Amino acid sequence: MTVTKDALGAPPAGGPRAPELDVVPVRNYGRWTAAVISVLALVGLIGSLAKNDNLHWDVVGDYLFADLIFDGLGTTLWLTAAAMALGLGLGTLLAVMRLSSSPVLYGIATAFVWVFRGTPLLVQIIFWGYAGALYKFVKIGVPFTDITFFQTETNTLLTPAVAALLALGLNEAAYASEIVRAGIQSVDPGQTEAAHSLGMRPALTMRRIVLPQAMRVIIPPMGNETINMLKMTALVSVISAHDLMSNIQDVYAQNYQVIPMLVVASLWYLALVSVLSVPQAWLERRYGRGTARGAHASPLQRMFGGTARLVGKKNKEDGR
Amino acid sequence: MTAAMVRAEGVRKHFGGLEVLKGIDLTVERGQVCCLLGPSGSGKSTFLRCINHLEKVDGGRLTVDGELVGYRQHGTKLHELREREVAQRRRDIGMVFQRFNLFPHMTALQNVMEAPVKVGAVPRNEAHERAQQLLAQVGLADRGHHYPAELSGGQQQRVAIARALAMQPKLMLFDEPTSALDPELVGDVLDVMRQLAADGMTMVVVTHEIGFAREVGDTAVFMDDGVVVEAGDPRRVLVDPEQDRTRAFLSKVL
């Protein structure tokens, strides 16, 4: 690699040509040693796991693609999607309420966040699972009269799946509202003023101008929340919502192969989380329009962009 | 048609305990360019923002084209306008900000088209054509597909002017439009404003550009500490002022 030629440009015609110099990188012996020790430790761990008969790779293989597992996966996936949709929708509403100038709306939203963020998720899941013990019937009608439009037993309405969705969704709404609020507040007030001065009404301003810009701040933490949600759905196994974890537990309750079944579950959760990072990167790119220059590159371009640039530069130099 | 475009009578405004406007009297006739000058904190920007109701007036009367700003009068009562009515009136008033405030997630063209399409219900292709014309008018015909971050400050401010003009306002407000610009970019923006004034647009301009005020302004208003100190022909107010405060200010900025 030649540095001087690039840094100084072509020497003036007839002038003395600068000698081409080779660059010798610093050698980090400490870093090499640490890398060797880490690799040895990792190989040892993998080797001991591979040789451990208690892991029962045959059981893992038998159940990895079993129908029961796919049923559970289906529930886990729709539960994650539905709970995130509920959380994001309700969370945005709560965020707008918390930013509203009405003290009543602000108070209600604040109280909601206080309750649902302040109690353990596990407690909320069990609560919704046993809500039938609190209200035996669900009625919709005119309060303080006998007029009833709709009435049913709580337990027929609140199946384990619905209870799980409510618990996860309402809990998520409390966290999402804080993320959305931070996002809205990160947008320059001048943007709202500019929109208002063009005759845009507050609702249109929020939808067209503020929220699209807030998305840049909202998406990375919401991606985290989605990944968290996928894993938190495992908690609803306590009310037998037939998600992946519930079905895994059902299996090892019968065959006592706890560790292999947990390996099956872990492999699937890992696979799903890996897939989820793709749409997040895509969304970040979409809402990064018009900001940083690097935001236009796809995740793959960003990952390999460094080497591509180096290679490109090298080629350019060679071409001279 | 005889009503002045902007008429202020004893306009007052305070933020908490701080009185920013202490009774402003001012008239801007149709087709006139009125330049507001004064030291920072004199209330000139606040007054400008009162005109399109970005700030609420606390006292006095402020009318635009004969209509009260932010209120409707019924007998002796003033009724606050609804969101929809406030937005309706703001359509007729264009505003250009010191820090441009372009929408960063939209291209220059989309910035200019946004309000006509979403507020004015202009068909998209019609708005597109008109936006192209406006960008050409401010000398940026070939920059339509650039995002604000890819434009210089002067270019951004000219896009902002085109965006304000897209709603075909009858009055344009400029809040220190060149104060955030590098000196060599100021000229392009002032040229656009000069052309706009020549085309007969009614303009209220808060500025520190004494030269522009003297050359383009029909009236110059010198404000200090929330009151109008002196107003009149800029060739008199800015050359041979009657008041000591005006003279002291001019000697500092010139």
Residue A320 has pLDDT above 60, yes or no: no
Which range of residues forms the domain containing residue A170?
57-137+148-288
* Domain count across chain A: 1
Distance, in Å, from the CA atom of B150 to the CA atom of B147, rounded to the nearest integer, reads: 5
Over the stretch B106-154, which tens digit does the pLDDT of each residue have? 999 999 999 999 999 999 999 999 999 999 999 999 999 999 999 999 9
Domain-located, residue A248? yes
Is residue B56 within 8 A of residue B70, CB to CB? The reply is yes
Taking a contact as any Cβ pair under 8 Å apart, which residues of chain A between 190 and 209 contact chain B? 190-191, 193-202, 204, 208-209
Residue A7 belongs to some domain of the structure: no
Does some domain include residue A237? yes
- Here the tokens at position B63 are 């009318």
Report, as an integer, the average pLDDT of B79-102.
94
ipTM exceeds 0.90: yes
* Amino acid at site A286: R
Confidence of residue A137 (pLDDT cuts 50, 70, 90): confident
**Distances in whole angstroms, Cα of residue B235 to Cα of each of A41, B31, B56, B221, B238:** 85, 18, 33, 12, 6
Q: Per-residue pLDDT tens for A277-318?
A: 888 888 888 888 776 554 455 656 656 655 444 444 444 444
Q: Locate tokens 């699937």: which residue?
A: A268
Residue A69 has pLDDT above 80, yes or no: yes
What six digits make up the tokens of B70?
A: 């932010």
Q: What is the mean pLDDT of residues B85-97?
A: 94
Name chain B contacts of A194, Cβ cutoff 8 Å.
95, 97, 101-103, 160
What pLDDT sits at residue A54? 84
Q: For A246-280, b where at least 16 C-beta lie within 10 A, e where not — what string? A: bbbbebbeeeebeebbebbbeebbeebeeeeeeeb
Backbone angles phi, psi at B54, to 5 degrees: -70, -25
Residue of A188, A194, A199 lying closest to B119 (CB–CB): A199
Percentage of chain A lying above the pLDDT 90 cut = 56
Q: Are the C-beta atoms of B131 and B112 separated by less than 8 Å?
A: yes
Q: Does any domain span residue A109?
A: yes
Cβ of A204 within 8 Å of Cβ of B90? The answer is no
Condensed to tens digits (0 to 9), the pLDDT of residues B24-62 reads 999 999 999 999 999 988 999 999 999 999 999 999 999
Q: Is residue A196 part of a domain?
A: yes
Six-digit token string for A154: 């709580």
Give the distance, in angstroms, between the CA of residue B148 and the centroid of all CA atoms in the same chain. Answer: 21
Decide: helix, strand or coil at residue B181.
Answer: coil
Q: Is the pLDDT of residue A26 over 90?
A: no
Asked if B52 and B88 count as a contact pair (C-beta separation under 8 A), the reply is no
> What percent of chain B has a predicted confidence (pLDDT) above 70?
99
Would residue A190 count as lying in a domain?
yes
Token readout for B145 is 């597909």
Residue A217 lies in a domain: yes
pLDDT value, residue B226: 93
Q: Output the pLDDT for position B137.
A: 94
Residue linked to tokens 């371009």: A301
CB pairs under 8 A between A and B: 73
* pTM for this predicted structure: 0.79
Nearest to B88 among A193, A199, A212 (CB): A199
The pLDDT tens digits for A79-135 are: 999 999 999 999 999 999 999 989 999 999 999 999 999 999 999 999 999 988 888
Inside any domain, residue A43: no
Write down the pLDDT at residue A313: 43
CATH number at residue A171: 1.10.3720.10
